Amino acid sequence: MTMDVKKLSIDTKLIHAGVEPDLTTGAIMTPIYQTTTFVQLAPHQHKGYEYSRTQNPTRYALEKALAAIENGKHATCYASGMAACDAIIKLLRPGDQVVSTNDLYGGSYRLFTKIFKNYGIDFNFIGMNDAQQIEASITPKTKMIWVETPTNPMLNIIDIEACAAIAKKHNLILVVDNTFGSPYLQNPLDWGADIVMHSATKYLGGHSDVVHGCVITNSDTLQEQLKFIQNSCGAVPGPQDCFLILRGLKTLHVRMRQHCLNAKAIAHWLKQNDKVDKVLWCGFEEHPNHAIAKKQMRDFGGIISFSLKEDTVEAANNILSKTELFALAESLGGVESLCGHPASMTHASIPREERLAVGLSDSLIRLSVGIENVDDLIADLEQALS
Ligand SMILES: *Cc1c(COP(=O)(O)O)cnc(C)c1O
């Protein structure tokens, strides 16, 4: 393509970035290059590919597309979101410390505390609503700030620009897990983040049929290290999985618009329901971080959490067992609506007192609002809550 991809709108980039008609056949879709190795004309004389752990044409097309939609220079794809987190922490050395969000995806919390702690890397989990608190927690050992925004399941919003200013001042790597926002709603590199990562399993894939992860950066130095780590450790995705994410990307903008519209209608409906206590959704003006959400996000996302006036696990379970369109399942970001109970599912490994301290109450229910007809979704919630 001779057009400057950087100047295109995200809607167009999602469909065109990274993909070129196949040179040998003209196939408009990037083929699934299901091959381990590539024939060389002479030693080291090849067409850019030697072995599929190092690079593969389907993966390469996806990496170009992902870099373009996150306004980044480089992207690296992984076998899962956790493999992407794993590669990022491997940039550090024993003795280094990470300052991280306290309201973190359970799998990241487990990777940090149960695996990397054993290798001498230290983690400090703090509330990040107040940027001053982040700066106060930095020590000479701190090398990285790890931010997830919106957070899961409390849907707090962390100011990426403020974090980037602190990271720059103290020479730290700022990582943003952008899984909940997706590149359609939020581009952390534009606010000064050094690394953005995704569980592409969620909104990027969008159809609940592939586990995948990716990392995007503007830094040549970080990219070189990430590629070295990936080629050495081997957490690569297969070409078919890359193809499925590439295919998912093409509708990200239309899906996200509908996720956001549906979530907005459901958040307002839940708010007036007399069984519901709190509704957590960053689109409400009274949400404590609404102004930051408005600044750094293009819309407010498809995830809603709410608690019940009868704040018990039983009351939540009663509702979760009655929904029909909202399927009770872990994960999020697919076209179909899902519901979950963080206290007993995704966050069950966190002690109850710690959970309650961050506001994650016994009855809290999380919805991943899909793109079905919103009246049908509301009718389902209505019958489950009545
Ligand atoms: C799901 C998820 C991950 C982990 O990704 P996998 O693809 O499941 O390995 C990391 N961060 C967030 C915010 C997630 O939702």
Q: How far apart are CA 216 and CA 218, in angstroms?
A: 7
Supply the CATH classification number for the domain 253-385.
3.90.1150.10
Give the position, in ligand 1's atom list, of the atom nearest the Cα of 333. 15
The arrangement of strands across the sheet holding 303-308 comes to 276-280, 303-308, 365-368, 338-340, 327-328
Band (pLDDT 50/70/90 cuts) for residue 1 is low
C-beta of 80 in contact with ligand 1 (< 6 A): yes
If you take atom 2 of ligand 1, which residue's CA is the nearest one? 199
3-class secondary structure, 321: coil
Structural domain boundaries in the chain = 5-249, 253-385
Count of beta carbons in the 10 Å neighbourhood of residue 21: 11
Give the position, in ligand 1's atom list, of the atom nearest the Cα of 82. 9
DSSP 97-151: EEEEESS--HHHHHIIIIIGGGGT-EEEEE--SSHHHHHHT--TTEEEEEEESS-
C-beta of 262 in contact with ligand 1 (< 6 A): no
Task: Say if strands 195-199 and 213-217 run parallel, antiparallel, or are unpaired.
Answer: antiparallel
- Give yes or no for a contact between 167 and 142, defined as CB atoms under 8 angstroms apart: no
Does domain 5-249 sit in CATH 2.40.50.100? Answer: no
pLDDT digits (tens, 9 = 90+) for 209-251: 999 999 999 999 999 999 999 999 999 999 999 999 999 999 9
What spacing in Å lies between the alpha carbon of 324 and ligand 1's midpoint? 25
Q: How far apart are CA 84 and CA 70, in angstroms?
A: 16
C-beta of 199 in contact with ligand 1 (< 6 A): yes
Closest CA relative to residue 102, chosen from 83, 139, 81, 130: 130
Per the annotation, the verdict on 105 as an active-site residue is yes
pLDDT digits (tens, 9 = 90+) for 135-147: 999 999 999 999 9
Per the annotation, the verdict on 6 as an active-site residue is no
What spacing in Å lies between the alpha carbon of 214 and ligand 1's midpoint? 11
Assess whether pLDDT exceeds 80 at residue 255: yes
Q: How many CA atoms lie within 13 A of 58 on its CB side?
A: 24
pLDDT digits (tens, 9 = 90+) for 125-134: 999 988 889 9
pTM for the full predicted model? 0.96
* Residue of 77, 80, 82 best suited for mutating to test ligand 1, as the one with most atoms within 8 Å of CB: 82
Per the annotation, the verdict on 53 as an active-site residue is yes
53, 250, 257, 355: the catalytic one is 53
103, 177, 241, 380: the catalytic one is 177
Q: How far apart are CA 183 and CA 173, in angstroms?
A: 20
Taking the alpha carbons at both ends of the chain, their separation in whole angstroms is 55
Assess whether pLDDT exceeds 90 at residue 182: yes
Averaged pLDDT of the chain: 95
The arrangement of strands across the sheet holding 142-148 comes to 74-78, 213-217, 195-199, 173-177, 142-148, 97-101, 122-126
Per the annotation, the verdict on 177 as an active-site residue is yes
Assess whether pLDDT exceeds 70 at residue 340: yes
3-class secondary structure, 276: strand
Which alpha helices (DSSP H) does 191-286 contain, by range?
Answer: 220-233, 239-249, 252-271
Q: What is the dihedral of CA 343, 347, 351, 355, to 10 degrees?
A: -70
Q: How far apart are CA 308 and CA 224, in angstroms?
A: 49
